[in-house]
Amino acid sequence: MSKVIASAVIRGSHKVFRQAEELMQKVIAEKGEEHEFEFPDTAFYLPLIYGMTKFQVKTLKDMKEALMMTRELLHEEPGGEVWTPYLGEALDSGMATLFAEEIWLALRYIEGEEPMKDPETGYVYNGFITDTVQRNLGIQLVDGRMPGFAAIIGAAPDEDTAVRIVRELQEKNILVFLSGQSNGDSVTKQLLRKNIELGWDVYIVPLGPKTEHTLYALDWAIRASMIFGGMKPGDVKGNLLYQKERVFAFALPLGPLDDVKWATGAGAINMGFPAICDTDVPVIHPTGVCTYEEVEKEFDHDKIVQRAIEVRGLKILIDKPPIPIAYGSAFEGERIRKEDTFIEFGGTRTAAFELVRLRELEDIEDGKIEIVGEDWEKRFEAGGQMPLGILVEVAGRKMQSDFIPILERRLHSNINEGQGIWHMGQRDLPWIRISNGARQAGFGLEDIAKIHHAMSHKRFSAIVDKVQVTLFTTEEDVVKWREDARAEWKERDERLASLVDETVDTFYSCLLCQSFAPSHVCVITPERLGLCGAYNWLDGKAAYEIDPTGGNQPIPKGQLLDPKYGRYSGVDEYLKQASGGAVETLNLYTIMENPMTSCGCFECIVVIIPEANGVMLVQRGHTAMTPIGMKFSTLAGTVGGGMQTPGFMGVGVNFITSKKFLAGDGGLKRIVWMTKALKERVKDKFEELAEAAGVPDLLDKIADETICEDSEKLVEYLTKVGHPALEMESII
Residues 167-186: x where in contact with ligand SF4 by CB under 6 A, - otherwise, as a string? --------------------
Among 110, 394, 512, 555, binds ligand SF4 (CB under 6 A): 512
Stretch that binds ligand SF4, among 19-27, 135-143, 328-336, 723-731 (CB under 6 A): 135-143
Taking CB under 6 A as the rule, does residue 63 contact ligand SF4? no
Sheet of 431-435, strands arranged across: 384-385, 341-346, 431-435, 421-424
Structural contact between residues 727 and 718, judged by C-beta atoms closer than 8 angstroms: no
Cβ 98 vs Cβ 260: under 8 Å: no
Residue ranges of alpha helices (H) inside 228-288 are 236-246, 259-270
Stretch that binds ligand SF4, among 127-135, 155-163, 486-494, 531-539 (CB under 6 A): 531-539
What x-and-dash track marks residues 601-620 binding ligand SF4 by CB under 6 A?
x-------------------
556 Cβ partners below 8 Å, 6+ apart?
Answer: 505, 506, 570, 574
| 42-50, 127-135, 339-347, 528-536 -> range binding ligand SF4 (CB under 6 A) | 528-536
Cα 705 vs. chain centroid, distance in angstroms?
Answer: 26
Sequence-ordered list of residues with C-beta below 8 angstroms from that of 350, at least 6 positions apart, any chain: 344, 385, 386, 387, 388, 475, 478
Contact status: 342 vs ligand SF4 (CB under 6 A):
no
Taking the least distance from each CB to ligand SF4, the nearer of 513 and 714 is: 513
Helix ranges (DSSP H) in 120-235: 131-142, 159-171, 187-193, 215-227
391 DSSP assignment: E
- Least CB distance from residue 138 to ligand SF4, whole Å? 8
Least separation in angstroms between residue 196's CB and ligand SF4 is 31
Stretch 666-705 residues interacting with ligand SF4 (CB under 6 A):
none
Least Cβ distance, residue 108 to ligand SF4 (angstroms)? 35
Residue 274 interacts with ligand SF4 (CB under 6 A): yes or no: no
Residue 530 Cβ vs ligand SF4, minimum distance, rounded to whole Å: 2
Out of 407, 510, 586, 612, which residue is the one contacting ligand SF4 (CB under 6 A)? 510
Q: How many CA atoms lie within 13 A of 381 on its CB side?
A: 0
The sign one gets for the Cα dihedral 695, 701, 704, 706 is positive
User: Is residue 723 helix, strand or coil?
Assistant: coil
Helix, strand, or coil (residue 341): strand
Per CB under 6 A, does 530 bind ligand SF4?
A: yes
Among the listed ranges 53-61, 139-147, 248-256, 265-273, the one in contact with ligand SF4 (CB under 6 A) is: 139-147
- The answer for residues whose C-beta is within 8 angstroms of residue 108's C-beta and 6 or more apart is 23, 114
Phi and psi at 307, nearest 5°, equal -65, -40
Q: Is 381 exposed, middle or buried (0-12, 13-18, 19+ CB in 10 A)?
A: exposed
Q: Which of 1, 5, 95, 142 binds ligand SF4 (CB under 6 A)?
A: 142
- Taking CB atoms, the residue at the shortest distance from ligand SF4 is 530
Site membership for ligand SF4, residue 555 (CB under 6 A): no
Name which position in 304, 432, 532, 588 contacts ligand SF4 (CB under 6 A).
532
Rank residues 485 and 605 by Cβ distance to ligand SF4 and give the closer one. Answer: 605
Stretch that binds ligand SF4, among 154-162, 369-377, 509-517, 566-574 (CB under 6 A): 509-517
CA-closest candidate to residue 535, choices 547, 525, 546: 525
Residue selected from 16, 57, 67, 139 as contacting ligand SF4 according to rule CB under 6 A:
139
Among 215, 522, 538, 596, binds ligand SF4 (CB under 6 A): 522
**CA–CA gap between residue 383 and residue 440 (Å, rounded):** 12
- The reply to whether 538 sits near ligand SF4 by the rule CB under 6 A is no
* Cβ 143 to ligand SF4 shortest distance, Å: 6
Q: What's the CA gap between 146 and 332, in Å, rounded?
A: 12
Hey, which residues between 580 and 599 contact ligand SF4 (CB under 6 A)? 599
**Residue 227 Cβ vs ligand SF4, minimum distance, rounded to whole Å:** 12
Please report which helix (H) or strand (E) contains residue 687, including its range.
helix 676-692
Judged by CB, which is closer to ligand SF4: 143, or 310? 143
Q: How far does Cα 107 stand from its chain's mean position?
A: 28
Which residues contact ligand SF4 by CB under 6 A? Answer: 139, 142-143, 510, 512-513, 522, 530-532, 534-535, 599, 601
